[in-house]
Amino acid sequence: MAHVANDDPTSPVQRERRTRILDATIALASQGGFDAVQMRTVAEQADVALGTLYRYFPSKIHLLVSALGREFERADAAMADNPVPGDTQADRVNHVLNRLTRGLQDDQHLTEALTRAFMFADRSARQEIQGVGQLLVRMLTRAMRPGATASDEDRAIARVIGDVWLAALMAWVNGRSSAEETSAHMERAVRLVLR
């Protein structure tokens, strides 16, 4: 107990297990959405015992929100490399949102699984949810002020836009609005808030 041999409590083997689990989650979600992500199936496909899966992710919701977090981290890293095109704040923010939206709308099942998990999550997944929210705000504020640090006001605006984006995504996933309506709604919201 007193001797900590390693700062990082996870060994390479464990990191690789975690990756396998998240990969299996994404694959199953892409294939059949939220319902297809069954804990027994994830465990089997990741070649891991059910108990081990639960040791890594304490619930299905944690698992799916963590998967969403990994996807967002990838998107964030990809967008951090080259600057967002566009002349105005609204243009750049819309570009980021369109990129995120398109990436998701190409895979409706995956989107449905990740969105619903995010929406359904309760306090126990607070940390994971907060991580996803911060990534979203980070991507949006970077589009608003490339290269500069964002003010509190900027972050509040980004959060509003993120809220609307999530709601719009949910409406799309639930078949209440088409892809066109969704992006129109988003652009209108961005135009309203960023002016």
Partner DNA sequence: GCCATGATAGGAACACGTTCCACTTCGAGA
Partner DNA sequence: TCTCGAAGTGGAACGTGTTCCTATCATGGC
- Interface positions with a copy of itself (CB under 8 A): 34, 112, 116, 119-123, 125-126, 129-130, 133, 156-157, 159-160, 162-164, 166-168, 170, 173-176, 185, 188-189, 192-193
User: Binding of DNA at residue 148 (CB under 7 A)?
Assistant: no
**Of 17 and 116, CB closest to a copy of itself:** 116
What does the alpha-carbon distance between residue 105 and residue 99 come to, in Å, rounded to a whole number?
10
Q: Total residues contacting DNA (rule CB under 7 A)?
A: 26
Residues 97 and 169: beta-carbon distance below 8 Å? no
Binders of DNA in range 13-42 (CB under 7 A): 13-14, 17, 35, 37-40
What does the alpha-carbon distance between residue 185 and residue 189 come to, in Å, rounded to a whole number?
6
User: Binding of DNA at residue 60 (CB under 7 A)?
Assistant: yes
Residues 194 and 89: beta-carbon distance below 8 Å? yes
User: Binding of DNA at residue 5 (CB under 7 A)?
Assistant: yes
Least Cβ distance, residue 129 to a copy of itself (angstroms):
6
Binders of DNA in range 115-144 (CB under 7 A): none
**Of 81 and 122, CB closest to a copy of itself:** 122
Binders of DNA in range 39-58 (CB under 7 A): 39-40, 47-52, 54-56, 58
In Å, what is the CA distance from 161 to each residue of 57, 77, 97, 126, 137?
Answer: 30, 20, 9, 20, 9
Binding site for DNA (CB under 7 A): 1, 3, 5, 9, 11, 13-14, 17, 35, 37-40, 47-52, 54-56, 58-61
